[in-house]
Structure 1
Amino acid sequence: MSDPEITREENDSKGRYMLRQEGGTAELTYSRLGGAVIIIDHTAVPDALRGTGAGRRLVERAVADARAEGRKIVPLCPFTKAQIDRTPEWQDVLQGR
C-alpha cells in the first residue's frame, strides 16, 4: 500500500489536517490564536484506522509545520498532548517553552 498523503486546510481562524486512506479519514483540527500559536482541539481516527499510526502522523505533521512556520502549539486535545509529552524532540513547539 502506498503512503497516504496528509492534506491541510486553513483559514484565518481555523485549520485541519486530514489523512485519507482505505478505511476512512483521520482528522486533526485546530484554531489559530494570532499568527504565532495554534490550539489543537481534536483528533479523530475512525475505528478502521486505529492502531495504524494515523493519529500520530497527523500530530507529527502539525509539529513539523509549526516549526517551519515559527508557531507554538497548545495541545488541548488529550491524544495530541499525550503524543507530544511522550516525544521529547517535539516539546520545543509547546507554548511556553
Structure 2
Amino acid sequence: METELRHEPDLARYTLWQDGRTVGLADYRVTPSEVRFIHTEVDPAHRRQGIAGRLIEFALDDVHARTDLRVVAECSYVEKWIDDHAEYQDLLTRGT
C-alpha cells in the first residue's frame, strides 16, 4: 500500500493518501500570529490504523519547520494529540 502525506496550502489542508485516495485530512486556518487546526477527519474504513496521528505529526512538523506561528488546536483530536506528545507543546506558546 502506497502512502503519501501532503500539504495542500491552496485548500488550507494537510492530507494523507493511500493508493491514490485521500483517506485523512486536517483543515486549518492561518491568522497573522497563529495556525488554527479546526478539523481532522479519517475515512471510516481506515480508522484505527494510526492515520490521524501520522497526519497531525506531519502537519505540526511542517508548521514548525516553515513558520514561527503559534498553533491553536480548535479540533479536539489535535488538542489531545498535542497533550499526549509533550515534545510538540512548545508550538502552543510560540510567538506569544
- Point out 4+ residue stretches in structure 1 off by more than 4 angstroms: none
How does the TM-score come out when normalised to structure 1?
0.84
Report the counterpart of residue 4 of structure 2 in structure 1.
Answer: 5
| Structure 1 gap segments, 5+ residues each | none
SS at match of 2:12: strand
Structure 1 position 54 matched with structure 2 position 33: no
Q: CA RMSD in A?
A: 1.9
Aligned residues: 93
Structure 1 position 41 matched with structure 2 position 38: yes
User: Which of 84, 89, 94 is the matching residue for 2:92?
Assistant: 94
Answer 1 or 2: which has greater helix percent: 2
| Structure 2 gap segments, 5+ residues each | none
Cα deviation for residue 87 of structure 1 reads: 0.6
Distance 2:16 2:63 in 1: 18
Percent of aligned pairs with the same amino acid: 30
SS at match of 1:5: strand
